[in-house]
Amino acid sequence: MQNNLLANAAKHLLQYGPKMIAKPLFIVPFSVKARVLEKLLNLLLTQQIEDDELDFLQQRWVKIDILDMALSFEVSFDERLIVRERGEAEVSFSGCSQELLLIAAGKEDPDTLFFQRRLAIEGDTELGLEVKNLLLSIEFDTMPMFFRQSITQAASMLTQLQRQANMPWA
């Protein structure tokens, strides 16, 4: 009985957790979200920016759509990463927050998620491959400690919830 309750609680948290996080995000003006995203992305990709690895993104836009959180934005590069709400993106990556978190933590391969239809890539295939390769080139150990710990803890919690939700008694 207790195991069944835990499994059901895990399923509900996996299903409704991102939606609960999305609600307060919805009332935050996009300009604030964009500034936060720009700061985070520029911090996370500092080494790639210094190594001129983002030049392929100049005057090109990539859309990121986090489906279960109703969060969508576009990213480009002009000496730093720039975020906007919408426009004419050349390639689009879409998936749920769980999959994107596992990719960030290095727990899932984007190609595997793509072939399992848990990650969608639409538009300019060449640009999409360049972005995917850039993301795969990020060395997790070079991220600031706070981000590494946060991503690791969140991914660990997510995998525990997924295991609990998929137990045979569920």
pLDDT at 65: 94
Split at pLDDT 50, 70, 90, the class of 132 is: confident
Split at pLDDT 50, 70, 90, the class of 158 is: confident
Average pLDDT, the chain: 83
What domains lie within the chain, and their CATH numbers? 2-165 (3.30.1050.10)
pLDDT at 47: 85
pLDDT at 31: 95
| CA–CA separation, 24 and 78 (whole Å) | 30
Between 79 and 15, residue with greater pLDDT:
79
| CA–CA separation, 165 and 163 (whole Å) | 5
Model confidence pLDDT, tens digit, residues 22-41: 777 788 999 999 999 999 88
pLDDT at 156 over 90: no
Phi, psi of 104, deg, nearest 5: -60, -35
Model confidence pLDDT, tens digit, residues 59-110: 999 999 999 888 999 999 999 999 999 999 999 999 988 888 778 777 788 8
Split at pLDDT 50, 70, 90, the class of 154 is: confident
pLDDT at 169 over 50: no
Phi, psi of 129, deg, nearest 5: -65, -40
What is the average per-residue pLDDT within 123-130?
93
- Give the number of other Cβ atoms within 10 Å of residue 73's Cβ: 19
Split at pLDDT 50, 70, 90, the class of 50 is: very high
Between 33 and 144, residue with greater pLDDT:
33
